[in-house]
Structure 1
Amino acid sequence: MSSSVRPVVLVLLSAVCFGSTGTAVALGAPEAPPLAVGAARIALGGALLAAVAAGPLLRRGALPALSLPPRLLGVVAVGALGVVAYQPLFFAGTRSSGVAVGTVVALGSAPLVTGLLAWLLTGARPGRRWAAATAVAVAGLVALAAGSGASGGATPLGLAASVGAGASYAVYTLAVKRLLDAGWSSLGSVGAVFGLAALLSLPVLAVTGAPAGAGGLAAVLWLGVVTTAVAYALFSAGLRHLAAPTVATLTLAEPLTATLLGLVVLGEHLGALQTAALLLIATGLAVLAAPARRRTGVPA
C-alpha cells in the first residue's frame, strides 16, 4: 500500500467503525435514552484512549502536557467540548427528525463546516478536488435524507441540532489537526482530547445512568471500544497526513456504512432515490480516495 493511499484507508476504516453505531444501539439498547448511550460511549472510549496514550509517558516518567503552552491546552479543551457537544446535538437531531435524516444532515454538514472553518482560521483554502468530491457526496446525502424522510418530515429544530452536531465534529477535527501540526503524536492528540471529554461526560452519566441489561452492556462496550477507541485512533493516524477538509469528506463513508448495515443486519429497505444517493456518496469518496497526480502548486 502506497504512502499516499494508507492515510485514506485508515480514515475510511474509522468511518466504517463509526457507521456501526446506530446498528449496535438498535440491536443492544433500543430503549436506552440516547443521552445515556452517548455519555457512556465517551466515558468508556475516552478513558481507553487516554490510558493508551498516557501509558508510554508514565513509563518514562514524563507528562509533557502539564507544561504545554496555554494555547495548546486551550485547543485540547475546545476539541473535548466538540466531542461532548456532538453527542446530545446528534441524538436530539435524530430524535426530532428521524435517525436517517438526522444522521445524514449531521455528517453531510461536517465537511462543509470543516472546510469553511479551516479557511477562516488558517487561510487554507480547500482545493478544487475537495470541493468537487464534497459537492457530489453532499448531493448524495441530501437525496438520501429526502428519500429517507419521505414518510416523516424533518423539523427545523431537529435540522438545526443536526447541523450543530456537524459543526461540533468539525471543531474536533480542526482541534486534533492543530495538535498534530504542533508535533503531537496521533494517539497523544486524540487521547488528550477524549480523555478530557470522558471527564466532562461523567456528570452526565451520573445523572442519566448507563444502559442496563446484557444488551445494553454489549452495546456500550462496542460503542466505547470499537466506535470510539479504535475508530478515533485510526482517524487521528490518517488525519496526520491529510487535510482536515479531505478527512471530513472521507468520513461521509459513515452514513454509507450505516445505511448498508441497516439493509443487511436490520432488514431495512431502500427506494430508488436512496440507492442513487448511495452511488453519489460512493462517487464522491472515490474521487478523494484515488491517488492524486502530483502537480506543483496545485492543491489536492
Structure 2
Amino acid sequence: MRAALLSMDTMLQGSLAILFSSVLWGTTGTVASFAPQVSPLAVGAFAMGVAGLLLGVMYRNAIKSDWYVLKNSPLLLAVGAVSLAIYPLAFYSSMRMAGVAVGTVISIASAPFFAVLIEQIFGRKQTLSTRWLISAVAGTAGIIMLTLAETAHSKGAAENDQLILGVILGLVAGLTYTLYAWVAKQFINQGVESKSAMGAIFLLGACILLPSLYFTGNNLFSTMENTLVVTYMALVPMFLGYVAFGFGLKFVNASKATLLTLFEPVVAAVLAIVVVGELISPIGWLGMALISVCLLLQASEKGETAQ
C-alpha cells in the first residue's frame, strides 16, 4: 500500500511539473509577437539553443556519468538532437504564419497522435481502442475546421498559402516534439537519468541551432524590446520549462507527457485572444471544441500506450 501511494505521489509530482512547463510554453507565441522584426527561425534557434547550452552545462556531471550508455545508441541520440533542432524552427514559423492560437493548437494537439504512431511502430504494439479512434477522428476534424476558419478570414490566395504552410509546419513541430520526447524516454528506460537524457539531447541540438543565427539573427538585439523577448524566451519557457519537463518525464511516459502538454494550447489561445487580439470565428471555436473532445477522450483512455 505504501509503495502504491508513493508511486501515485511521484506520478502526481511528474504530472504537475509537466503542467507547469506547459503554462510557461503557452506564453511563447504571445511574447514572440512583440518582436515581429525578428525572424521566427532566429527566435526558435536562439531560445532553444541558449536553453540547450544552459541545460548541457547544468547537467554536465550527469551526462558524463551516463555517457557510456548514451554513446552506445548514436543513431537514437542523433534522432533526438535533430528533432529538437527542427522543432522550434517549425513551431515558431507555424505561429508566425498561421497565428499564435492556430499554430500552437495544431502543433501540440497533433503530438499525441504522433506519439501513439511512434510507439506502435517502435514500441510495444497494442490494438487501438474504439475510444482512441473516435478521438482521432474528432481531433482531425477539429484541425481541419480550425484551418478552414482561418482560411475564410484570409484576404487572398497568398495568405491562404501561408496559412496552409503554417499548418503543415505545425504538424512537423508536433512530430519532432514527440520524437525527441520519445528518444529521451528510451534513454531513461535504459537506466539513464532524465537529466542526462534531456541534457545530452539539448546540448547536441544547441550545437545545430546556434550556428544558424549567423544567417537569421540580424535583429535579435536591435531594440530593447527584441532583447527582452528573446532573453525571456530562452531563460523562462525554454530553460526553466524544460527543467520541469525533464523532471516530469522521469515519472511519466512519452504518450502521457504529450497529453499533459495539451494544456499549452489552452494557455496560448487565451493569451492570443486577450493580449494579441486574434479573432476566432464560430467554425474555428467548433474546431477547438472538437479538439478538446479528442483530448478528453484520450485522457480518459484506460491504460497507457507505452511503458
- TM bucket normalised to smaller: 0.7 to 0.9
The Cα shift of 1:157 comes to 4.4
Number of the residue aligned with 2:208: 200
2:91 aligned residue = 90
State the 1:40 CA deviation: 0.8
Structure 1 residue runs without a partner (length 5+): none
- State the partner residue of 1:64: 65
Which SS does the other structure have where 2:59 is aligned? helix
Of the three residues 212, 217, 229, the one matched with 1:219 is 229
The 1:192–1:229 alpha-carbon spacing in structure 2 relative to 1, beyond 3 Å, is same
Q: Paired residue for 1:11, among 14, 18, 24?
A: 18
SS in 2 for 1:150: helix
Q: Distance in 2 between matches of 1:267 and 1:42?
A: 26
Give, in whole Å, the separation in 1 of the partners of 2:85 and 2:213: 12
Q: Note the C-alpha offset of 1:135.
A: 5.5
Paired letter, 1:20: T
Q: Render the CA deviation track for 1:61-107: whole Å, top value 9, x for unaligned.
A: x8234433544343222111101112333344445544444333322
C-alpha spacing 1:78/1:148, structure 2 compared with 1 (3 Å): same
Provide the secondary structure at the position in 2 that maps to 1:229: helix
Distance 1:286 1:98, change over 3 A: closer
1:42 aligns to 2:44 (yes or no)? no
3-state secondary structure, aligned to 2:276: coil
1:74 matched to 2:75:
yes
> Counterparts of 2:24 and 2:279 in 1: how far apart (Å)?
22
Q: Which residue of 1 aligns with 2:157?
A: none
Cα distance in 2 between the residues matched to 1:96 and 1:180: 36
What is the letter of the counterpart of residue 181 of structure 2? T
Is the deviation greater in 199-208 or in 102-111?
A: 102-111
1:53 lines up with 2:62 in the alignment:
no
8 Å Cα contact 2:198-2:246 kept in structure 1: yes
Question: Does residue 186 in structure 1 map to residue 188 in structure 2?
Answer: no
TM-score (norm 2): 0.80
Alignment length (residue pairs): 289
**Where does structure 1 differ by over 6 angstroms across 4 or more consecutive aligned residues?**
none
Which digits, 9 at most, give the CA deviation of each residue in 1:166-199, with x for residues without a partner? Answer: 2211211111111111122222221111111111
1:251 correspondence with 2:251? no
Distance of 1:218 and 1:89 partners within structure 2: 22
Q: Trace 1:79-228 onto structure 2 (pairs within 5 A).
A: 79-125=80-126, 128=129, 136=138, 139-152=141-154, 153-154=160-161, 157-209=165-217, 211-212=220-221, 213-228=223-238
Whole-Å separation in 1 of the counterparts to 2:104 and 2:161: 12
Overall identity of the aligned pairs, in %: 29
Structure 2 counterpart SS, 1:211: coil
SS in 2 for 1:5: helix
Q: Please, which runs of 5 or more residues in structure 2 have no aligned partner?
A: 155-159
* Cα offset, 1:114, TM superposition: 1.6
TM superposition shift of 1:37: 1.0
Q: Which residue of 1 aligns with 2:247?
A: 237
TM-score by length of 1: 0.82
State the match for 1:30 in structure 2.
36
Distance 2:206 2:228 in 1: 19
Q: 1:91 to 1:263 in 2, by over 3 A?
A: closer
Deviations 1:99-133 (A, max 9, x none): 44433332232221121011101134376466666
For residues 108 and 236 of structure 1, the distance between their equivalents in structure 2, rounded to whole angstroms, comes to 20
Distance 1:53 1:46, change over 3 A: same
